[in-house]
Amino acid sequence: MRKQVFFIARFLLLGGAIAGASLAAPLVAAAPGHSVTVVISNMSFGRVPADLKVGDTVVWVNRDTVPHTVTARDRSFDLHVAPGQSASQTLGKAGTFPFYCIYHSAMRGTLKVASAS
Ligand SMILES: [Cu+2]
């Protein structure tokens, strides 16, 4: 009789651990990606980090006194950033995205986005 109670207690403990693990898994998956800032100044885009992933957010900060855009060649994004303002972009798709500014075509860059792992 006493042995039986012990086994039931062990079973409940194990069940609790499994429930805990299954609750923790979605929290990890839902964790927000990293946020990086790219400064636009002197009519040029700052360095774009090379380790971006789907789910990350890029905040583009325009320190110039003229408006700029961050426009993908394939038009998958098109952000307009007023002077002294910023625009934020959450990366939703993996790939390599060359971009430019529609007002200043010499302003160019490339956004490389890896799939979320
Ligand atoms: Cu521009």
* Residue 27, pLDDT above cutoff 60: no
pLDDT value at residue 14: 40
For ligand 1, the distance from its centroid to the CA atom of residue 115, given in whole angstroms, is: 29
For ligand 1, the distance from its centroid to the CA atom of residue 12, given in whole angstroms, is: 63
| pLDDT range class, residue 16, cuts 50, 70, 90 | very low
For ligand 1, the distance from its centroid to the CA atom of residue 15, given in whole angstroms, is: 58
> Which helix H or strand E contains 61, and what residues bound it?
strand 57-62
Q: Report whether 109 contacts 40 (CB < 8 A).
A: no
For ligand 1, the distance from its centroid to the CA atom of residue 36, given in whole angstroms, is: 20
Domains of the chain are: 19-114 (2.60.40.420)
For ligand 1, the distance from its centroid to the CA atom of residue 79, given in whole angstroms, is: 11
Please give the sequence-ordered ranges of beta strands (E in DSSP) within the chain, or none if there are none. Answer: 35-41, 44-45, 52-53, 57-62, 68-72, 78-81, 86-90, 95-100, 108-114
| pLDDT range class, residue 10, cuts 50, 70, 90 | very low
What pLDDT, in 10s, does the model give residues 43-94? 999 999 999 999 999 999 999 999 999 999 999 999 999 999 999 999 999 9
Looking at the chain, the whole-number percentage of residues with pLDDT higher than 70 is 74
For ligand 1, the distance from its centroid to the CA atom of residue 112, given in whole angstroms, is: 20
For ligand 1, the distance from its centroid to the CA atom of residue 77, given in whole angstroms, is: 15
pTM of the model: 0.72
pLDDT value at residue 55: 96
Q: Report whether 40 contacts 81 (CB < 8 A).
A: yes
Q: Averaged over 7-18, what is the pLDDT? A: 39
